[in-house]
Structure 1
Amino acid sequence: MGLGRWTDWLWVFVAVGLGGCAGPRQGTYAQRSFDSVSNTCRTQPALCTGAESVLPGVRAAEVAVVVAGARAMLDEDAKRAVESVLKECAEQARSAVLLREHEGRSPTPMQCKEQVRNAQGESVSRAIWLGNQMHAVALECVERKFDSMMPGRFSIEPTYRFDRRTGTSTLLGKEEVQLLKQPRFRHELKGTLTPDFVIHTGDPLQVSVVYDFKFPCTNVSEPPEWRSGGSSLSGPTQKESYMQAFRLGTRQVLRVVPRLGIFE
């Protein structure tokens, strides 16, 4: 194989272990909380068995990432390995949060509907509150793993403004997003897209695959449907909006659901 062929096709093999990745973003209090989860598992193993258990020893996954030309695409082996990491992060996130907040048990339908206060003091359902907690843990896990697995080739919760009239997308900077999250500016975020995890070529506007984590509060035997991304139930779903904004096919926009796996 000539030198040009080697530069066109770059294989990167990384051994990935998921031990210790289940901790919410930014560490601090949430990380210490997960440490307490691990301690609880050691001292009270009965709480860590069954479907909601913290996985005791996650296998390592060998990942091959193919970078071909200007648009880097994952081959099937690499995609399976990437998705195995995402599934394990989702599993650990659900287990860690339920162990920390709910003694390891799944909430009942009635508990899921109860109103609680989030960190901003807003009233939300327990289903939304738990889902947000699980997202934070899962995304911290993903960020740690993919920092070494494919640095520069992914984004966590990037925010895009998609102009449906022109079919163009614009990436918003993190500082701008934080400013717009303030109550008096929050309306400016209406209609923006914020997928959980994006694999791209190195340019966040050149998206290869989109993954969204879905954490159902009840009915955990079936994957949740894609939410409507518009202001009305007749508007496009999240999946449809991602496909339009990034010009992706249906198999490039996927849901990650704990216990169940990966779904279109």
Structure 2
Amino acid sequence: MSPGRESIEEKLVKCADTARSEVLLNHTAHFPNGGRPTDAECKQLSTDPKFKGKTWAQQLGIEMHEVARNCAEAALKDLVPGRFSLEQRYRYDRATKQKKPVSADEEKALVESGNAGELKGSLVPDVVIHTGDLLAVQAVYDFKFRCVNDGQLPEWERYDRGHPYHGKNQEEMYLDAFGVKPLRITARLGGLR
């Protein structure tokens, strides 16, 4: 990859830090500990009707991802224009090692027609750096946010029973599909391999 990898990773780490700070500042009224949620608070259900049935950890994670995504888009459009994708979905066949990008229109049509199950087993990294060809992947990044900032490394998400990748985690599947070691981008800890 070009010498800009370090610059890309610096920008993404800054986006993760910004996302965590911005989202927690928006929720200082919910967390009396200076806007920092405790482990117990993270497990409680959110009081926001928009996130009904979700815990605070889930809500904060969704909000932080959204802020980080917007930040990454703004940073990368100048740094690597035309050479990055955000939340690009790929169908992946483990047997043949073939991957195929799924367009936003195709994804929307499957969801709206009630056929979202056809997307099961697809991979959606947060950030992909490529040559301009979605299949020529050079780097894969995933934002990971822990609800409690305890200095522990965030884990790669494991696939549940019944999922085509059960027994594997995101890191393993991204490496298998894209042929590059993915990097976790997390607030306060930076980029973690």
* Structure 1 Cα separation of the partners of residues 121 and 142 of structure 2: 17
Structure 2 portions without partners, runs of 5+: none
1:179 aligns with 2:109: yes
* Structure 1 Cα separation of the partners of residues 81 and 103 of structure 2: 19
* Structure 2 Cα separation of the partners of residues 90 and 219 of structure 1: 13
Asked if the contact 2:13/2:186 (under 8 Å) is kept, the reply is: yes
Match for 1:237 among 165, 169, 172? 169
Change over 3 Å in CA distance of 1:229–1:200 after alignment to 2: farther
Task: Determine the structure 2 residue equivalent to 1:58.
Answer: none
Q: What letter corresponds to residue 263 of structure 1 in structure 2? A: L
Q: Relative to structure 2, which stretch is displaced further, 138-147 or 227-236?
A: 227-236
Which structure ranks higher in relative contact order (CA pairs < 8 Å, sequence separation ≥ 6)?
Answer: 2
Percent identical: 40
1:256 aligns with 2:182: no
* Structure 2 Cα separation of the partners of residues 231 and 118 of structure 1: 29
Task: Determine the structure 2 residue equivalent to 1:143.
Answer: 73
- What's the CA shift string for 1:152-210, capped at 9, x where partnerless? 10000000010111110010001122233449333222111000000001001110000
* Structure 2 Cα separation of the partners of residues 163 and 230 of structure 1: 18
Structure 2 counterpart SS, 1:155: strand
Asked if the contact 2:8/2:79 (under 8 Å) is kept, the reply is: no
1:90 aligns with 2:16: yes
**Aligned pairs, number:** 186
Structure 1 counterpart SS, 2:27: helix
What is the root-mean-square deviation of aligned Cα atoms in Å? Answer: 2.0
Change over 3 Å in CA distance of 1:79–1:227 after alignment to 2: same
Change over 3 Å in CA distance of 1:238–1:110 after alignment to 2: same
Change over 3 Å in CA distance of 1:112–1:180 after alignment to 2: farther
The within-5 A match list for 1:153-168 is 153-168=83-98
